[in-house]
Amino acid sequence: MNLSPLQKARYEYSPKLPGMLRNGISDICVKNGAPTESVADQDKIKALFPNTYGKNEITFEKGANTSVAKKQVVGVILSGGQAPGGHNVICGLYDAIKATDKSNVLLGFKGGPSGLIEDDFVEFDDEYINAYRNTGGFDIIGSGRTKLETEEQFKIVTEVAKKHGLTAIVIIGGDDSNTNAAVLAEYMAAHNTGVQVIGCPKTIDGDLKNEDIEASFGFDTATKTYSEVIGNIERDANSAKKYWHFVKVMGRSASHVALECALETQPNICLIGEEVAAKKMSLSAIADYIADSVAKRAANGDNFGVAIIPEGIVEFVPEFSKLIAEINELLAGKKTDEFNALPNWDAKYNFIKNGLTAESFAVFDILPQFVQQQLFLERDPHGNVQVSLIESEKLFSALVKDKLAARKAAGTYNGKFSALHHFFGYEGRCAFPSNFDADYCYSLGYNAFMLIQYGYTGYLSKVSNLSKPADEWVAGGMPITKMMNIERRNGEDKPVIRKALVELDGAPFKYFEAHREEWAVKTAYTYPGAIQYFGPSEVCDLTTRTLALEKGMLK
């Protein structure tokens, strides 16, 4: 195979472990912490997880390894969207497994959770693993979005585990996948299978974090990748001085990615979904907010700018969510066929007009026609509108254009507005992991095996103190049940890990809020440049601004 020079160089990189894990397997012992309680709904969660609830938080420290030696056969899966560093979680896991005992085995189940059900696996060896060290992607075994949650699936997984003599399963995934890891751990314990289950926190969206998990892996690299390109676009905008760039960035729900990119690049505008919801902003109010920046900059002769739009934004606009709910209702069941049979858009438009409340129709009516039509094109398997497919970067630039036309007619604006659109998502999910993600992920994997070796189940591999150099990182484990509460999902009460949205009183948002008025008018762009893998630590080992602000390292 032809390898790029960087690929070869990254194979040679030795990821940094937390200081306490650096002395070799025989010198790692457990320090017991306090028993835990779930973040809310304690009685209900305890009743649902009688075998795994309330266990102690633990950390590892230097000291004689007291774990009981046994042959380990571990299965691992990657679950959900790709995130840079996933390969290193598996490499760290593999190295710890083999350093403990060469005869231990690591099986990778292919294509995500379905690999466990279909018993589709590969047994890792040095040659296989070495081809993936410090590389991006999930192609080592692939990933998938099948949910492991039914009793039927758990029975099959138990059979597969028995067949291979699995002692443990490691699930690398986001909030949903780790919720399922907790349920599977409870099932395995309740049925005395002897199979331990350990989770690892992954997602570029950054919404799997809490007082225990400081960051999900992949967020660092993905946001640095987007920020590099946004910075380049800012420089292009400032050079040509003729375009407003509307840049949508991934983040299915929470706006952490958009906020981090804004902190890195200081654009003129960045929308934050959580703020839009808290202030109950309408589409029109958001468009006015952006148009104000365009107009003020135009008054200074700057007919250019950059606006960051989070992928999940429209679901945070209350009137838009109501509109979507009404459309789903309007087209439920056979009415979809009736709608599809209408001869042209005019007839469809009237059907919609007659079926929506006046309030929702008013919202529908201000949407540009391509968005109106998008709402009826792609539907999910339940027949619902796929909000994530709406081109919100184009939606907002179109709404802003209308606002500016009205202002021009009223004589309050006299600039030029020419918009370009970008969507950055997949570009960042498989980048070579930054040194931070390479180190963090390797540590999560290595640490996951230490949890297995010491007999823990239903735990999330936890590496903290991440804003400090890696030798000061703290490795340990946290019962997943500690992060759970009860939420309503598909009409049922379910135990789930609480999704972390952007906190409007948190330091990252506060910093942004304190500066955004200035950024909206001035050209205050910053240019992060490409991720640096080799060079001085202050350039190569930087964490995100979000983490630095949360930990008080930046003011």
Q: Which residue, 204 or 287, has its beta carbon nearer to ligand FBP?
A: 204
Name which of 279, 281, 373 is nearest 320 in CA terms. 281
Q: Is the backbone of residue 535 left (phi > 0), alpha (psi -120 to 50) or beta?
A: left
Q: Are 352 and 364 in contact (CB under 8 A)?
A: yes
Q: Which residue, 49 or 320, has its beta carbon nearer to ligand FBP?
A: 320
* In the complex, minimum distance from the CB of residue 204 to ligand FBP, in angstroms, rounded to a whole number: 5
Catalytic residue among 95, 205, 437, 439: 205
| Six-digit token string for 100 | 């403990």
Q: Which residue, 83 or 171, has its beta carbon nearer to ligand FBP?
A: 83
Q: Are 177 and 161 in contact (CB under 8 A)?
A: no
Q: Are 495 and 179 in contact (CB under 8 A)?
A: yes
* In the complex, minimum distance from the CB of residue 82 to ligand FBP, in angstroms, rounded to a whole number: 7
Q: Which residue, 83 or 306, has its beta carbon nearer to ligand FBP?
A: 83
* In the complex, minimum distance from the CB of residue 100 to ligand FBP, in angstroms, rounded to a whole number: 30
Neighbours of 329 (CB within 10 A): 11
What does the binding site for ligand FBP look like in residue numbers (CB under 6 A)? 80-81, 83, 174, 203-205, 250-252, 311, 388, 429
* In the complex, minimum distance from the CB of residue 219 to ligand FBP, in angstroms, rounded to a whole number: 10
Q: Are 179 and 173 in contact (CB under 8 A)?
A: no
Q: Is the backbone of residue 412 left (phi > 0), alpha (psi -120 to 50) or beta?
A: alpha
* In the complex, minimum distance from the CB of residue 37 to ligand FBP, in angstroms, rounded to a whole number: 26
The beta-strand segments (E) located in 353-411 are none
What is the rounded CA–CA span in Å between residue 508 and residue 82?
Answer: 25
Dihedral Cα 17, 451, 167, 65, nearest 10 deg: 90
Interacting residues of 22 by C-beta distance below 8 A, sequence separation 6+: 471
* In the complex, minimum distance from the CB of residue 195 to ligand FBP, in angstroms, rounded to a whole number: 24
The alpha carbons of the chain give a radius of gyration, in whole angstroms, of: 25
Q: Which residue, 223 or 397, has its beta carbon nearer to ligand FBP?
A: 223
The reply to whether 205 belongs to the active site is yes
Q: Are 391 and 385 in contact (CB under 8 A)?
A: no
Bridge-based pairing of strands 196-201 and 244-249 is: unpaired
Secondary structure letter of residue 217 according to DSSP: B
Q: Which residues are catalytic?
A: 205
